[in-house]
Amino acid sequence: MSPDDRRNLPRPSNLFDSLPARLPDELFTTLIQSPHVRIERIVSQAHTSPEGFWYDQPQHEWVLLIRGAATLRFEEGLVELRSGDSLLIKAHRKHRVESTSQDQPTIWLAVYYDEAAAND
Protein backbone atom coordinates (compact mmCIF):
# COMPACT_ATOMS: atom_id res chain seq x y z
CA MET A 1 0.00 0.00 0.00
CA SER A 2 1.42 3.36 -0.98
CA PRO A 3 1.58 6.35 1.41
CA ASP A 4 -1.09 8.06 -0.71
CA ASP A 5 -3.45 5.11 -0.19
CA ARG A 6 -2.88 5.23 3.59
CA ARG A 7 -3.87 8.91 3.71
CA ASN A 8 -7.31 7.96 2.38
CA LEU A 9 -7.98 5.39 5.10
CA PRO A 10 -10.58 6.32 7.71
CA ARG A 11 -9.07 7.27 11.06
CA PRO A 12 -10.39 5.69 14.24
CA SER A 13 -11.46 7.72 17.23
CA ASN A 14 -11.65 6.48 20.82
CA LEU A 15 -14.49 7.18 23.27
CA PHE A 16 -11.95 7.22 26.12
CA ASP A 17 -9.85 10.03 24.57
CA SER A 18 -10.08 13.62 25.78
CA LEU A 19 -11.58 12.84 29.18
CA PRO A 20 -11.11 15.88 31.41
CA ALA A 21 -9.59 15.37 34.86
CA ARG A 22 -12.37 17.41 36.48
CA LEU A 23 -15.95 17.70 35.35
CA PRO A 24 -17.91 20.56 36.92
CA ASP A 25 -20.78 19.68 34.53
CA GLU A 26 -21.62 16.65 32.43
CA LEU A 27 -19.79 16.67 29.10
CA PHE A 28 -21.92 16.14 25.96
CA THR A 29 -20.07 15.54 22.67
CA THR A 30 -22.02 15.04 19.44
CA LEU A 31 -20.30 12.31 17.42
CA ILE A 32 -22.74 12.02 14.49
CA GLN A 33 -25.83 14.00 13.57
CA SER A 34 -28.39 13.79 10.77
CA PRO A 35 -31.97 15.04 10.45
CA HIS A 36 -33.35 11.94 12.22
CA VAL A 37 -30.47 10.61 14.35
CA ARG A 38 -27.95 12.09 16.81
CA ILE A 39 -25.24 10.07 18.56
CA GLU A 40 -23.55 11.56 21.62
CA ARG A 41 -20.86 10.61 24.06
CA ILE A 42 -21.85 11.73 27.55
CA VAL A 43 -19.33 11.81 30.38
CA SER A 44 -20.58 12.10 33.96
CA GLN A 45 -18.82 11.90 37.30
CA ALA A 46 -20.99 12.06 40.40
CA HIS A 47 -23.53 14.07 38.40
CA THR A 48 -27.28 14.04 38.93
CA SER A 49 -30.17 15.84 37.29
CA PRO A 50 -31.03 19.13 39.00
CA GLU A 51 -33.63 18.85 41.77
CA GLY A 52 -37.12 18.74 40.25
CA PHE A 53 -35.83 18.44 36.65
CA TRP A 54 -37.13 15.65 34.39
CA TYR A 55 -36.01 14.89 30.84
CA ASP A 56 -39.02 14.84 28.50
CA GLN A 57 -37.50 14.44 25.06
CA PRO A 58 -39.32 14.43 21.70
CA GLN A 59 -37.00 11.65 20.38
CA HIS A 60 -36.46 8.07 21.47
CA GLU A 61 -33.16 7.58 23.30
CA TRP A 62 -31.13 4.39 23.39
CA VAL A 63 -28.27 4.54 25.88
CA LEU A 64 -25.33 2.20 26.36
CA LEU A 65 -23.33 2.55 29.55
CA ILE A 66 -19.73 2.01 28.43
CA ARG A 67 -17.97 2.57 31.75
CA GLY A 68 -19.04 3.26 35.32
CA ALA A 69 -22.51 2.96 36.81
CA ALA A 70 -25.66 5.03 36.91
CA THR A 71 -29.15 5.07 38.36
CA LEU A 72 -32.03 6.54 36.37
CA ARG A 73 -35.34 7.47 37.96
CA PHE A 74 -38.62 6.99 36.14
CA GLU A 75 -42.01 7.84 37.62
CA GLU A 76 -42.46 4.14 38.44
CA GLY A 77 -39.09 3.70 40.14
CA LEU A 78 -35.34 3.30 39.72
CA VAL A 79 -33.32 1.52 37.03
CA GLU A 80 -29.69 0.61 37.86
CA LEU A 81 -27.18 0.49 35.00
CA ARG A 82 -23.63 -0.88 35.02
CA SER A 83 -20.96 -1.17 32.32
CA GLY A 84 -22.36 -2.89 29.25
CA ASP A 85 -26.03 -2.27 30.07
CA SER A 86 -28.26 -0.61 27.48
CA LEU A 87 -31.73 0.86 27.78
CA LEU A 88 -34.35 2.19 25.37
CA ILE A 89 -36.20 5.26 26.62
CA LYS A 90 -39.21 6.03 24.44
CA ALA A 91 -39.97 9.61 23.40
CA HIS A 92 -41.62 11.69 26.14
CA ARG A 93 -40.87 9.07 28.82
CA LYS A 94 -39.96 11.29 31.75
CA HIS A 95 -36.73 10.33 33.48
CA ARG A 96 -33.86 11.84 35.42
CA VAL A 97 -30.31 10.90 36.39
CA GLU A 98 -30.39 9.95 40.05
CA SER A 99 -26.67 9.11 40.37
CA THR A 100 -23.48 8.29 38.47
CA SER A 101 -20.17 6.81 39.61
CA GLN A 102 -18.19 9.03 41.94
CA ASP A 103 -14.83 7.26 41.71
CA GLN A 104 -14.49 7.20 37.90
CA PRO A 105 -16.05 8.85 34.86
CA THR A 106 -19.30 7.28 33.73
CA ILE A 107 -19.23 7.11 29.93
CA TRP A 108 -22.48 6.81 28.00
CA LEU A 109 -23.19 6.38 24.31
CA ALA A 110 -26.60 7.91 23.59
CA VAL A 111 -28.49 7.50 20.31
CA TYR A 112 -31.44 9.86 19.84
CA TYR A 113 -33.79 9.10 16.97
CA ASP A 114 -37.29 9.87 15.77
CA GLU A 115 -39.93 7.66 14.15
CA ALA A 116 -38.71 8.50 10.62
CA ALA A 117 -35.30 6.98 11.46
CA ALA A 118 -36.94 3.91 13.03
CA ASN A 119 -38.94 3.29 9.83
CA ASP A 120 -36.06 3.75 7.35
pLDDT (tens digit per residue) in 24-66: 889 999 999 999 999 999 999 999 999 999 999 999 999 999 9
What is 52-108 written as a DSSP string? T--B--SSEEEEEEEESEEEEEETTEEEEEETT-EEEE-TT--EEEEEE-SSS-EEE
* Comparison of pLDDT for 25 and 69, the residue scoring more: 69
pLDDT band at 23 (very low <50, low <70, confident <90, very high): confident
Please provide residue 119's backbone torsions phi and psi, each rounded to the nearest 5 degrees: -100, 0
pTM for the model stands at 0.86
